[in-house]
């Protein structure tokens, strides 16, 4: 947006939108907004499903372990700024592993099945590595491109110590699709 002043000078101010977050695998799309959502440390669960409760507890534990933060999962309360809300919805187009992620005043994650919520938590963890106190505002609908996925580490041609493999295994869980 440029504004021309009466004196003939032009002043330009560009609103900078957030870039697509770097996660592996890459998000299929990212509808960027401006700003950052400062995280509160609360994960809200909008389902009484035991599977959703397990995913919320694991997510809080991973946040605490990875980023040395103190997160807790709660059964649904009213979302406040910085909260992360995990919800199941009836959108069958997301499939078994797809999810919607909306980062605004708070973070809203919705999926058709619990597995989609789980993969969304892995995306959020990766997004948080660079900025542990906030997430870039924006939204995405993400689902896997392939039914079967894999990862190979060739230890036959290059020696890799077991200590490295054990440590790397903890990071592999973040690689999702």
| Model pLDDT for residues 41-69, shown as the tens digit of each residue | 999 999 889 999 999 999 999 888 887 77
Residue 173, pLDDT score: 62
- Measured CA to CA in angstroms, residue 174 lies from 30, 132, 134 at distances of 19, 16, 18
- Judge whether 117 and 55 are in contact, CB under 8 Å: yes
pLDDT at 129: 83
Cβ(108)–Cβ(102) below 8 Å? yes
End-to-end Cα separation, the chain, in angstroms: 39
Question: Cα dihedral angle (130, 105, 101, 92), rounded to 10 degrees?
Answer: 170
- State pLDDT tens for residues 74-105: 987 799 999 999 999 989 999 999 999 999 99
pLDDT for 144 beyond 90: no
pTM recorded for the entire structure: 0.80
Contacts of 57 (CB under 8 A, 6+ apart): 73
């Amino acid at each position: 947006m440029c504004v021309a002043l009466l004196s003939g000078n032009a002043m330009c101010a560009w609103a900078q939108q957030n870039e697509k977050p770097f996660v592996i695998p890459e998000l299929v799309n990212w509808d960027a907004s401006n700003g950052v959502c400062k995280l509160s440390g609360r994960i809200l669960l909008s389902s009484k499903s035991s599977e959703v409760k397990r995913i919320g507890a694991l997510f809080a534990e991973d946040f605490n372990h990875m980023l040395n933060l103190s997160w807790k999962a709660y059964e649904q309360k009213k979302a406040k700024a910085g909260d992360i809300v995990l919800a199941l919805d009836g959108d069958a187009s997301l499939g078994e592993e797809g999810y919607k992620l909306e980062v605004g005043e708070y973070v809203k994650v919705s999926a058709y099945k619990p597995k989609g919520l789980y993969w969304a938590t892995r995306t959020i963890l990766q997004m948080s590595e660079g900025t542990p106190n906030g997430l870039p505002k924006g939204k995405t609908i993400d689902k896997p491109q392939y039914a079967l996925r894999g990862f190979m580490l060739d230890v036959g041609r290059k020696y890799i110590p077991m200590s490295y493999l054990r440590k790397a295994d903890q990071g592999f869980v973040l690689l999702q699709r």
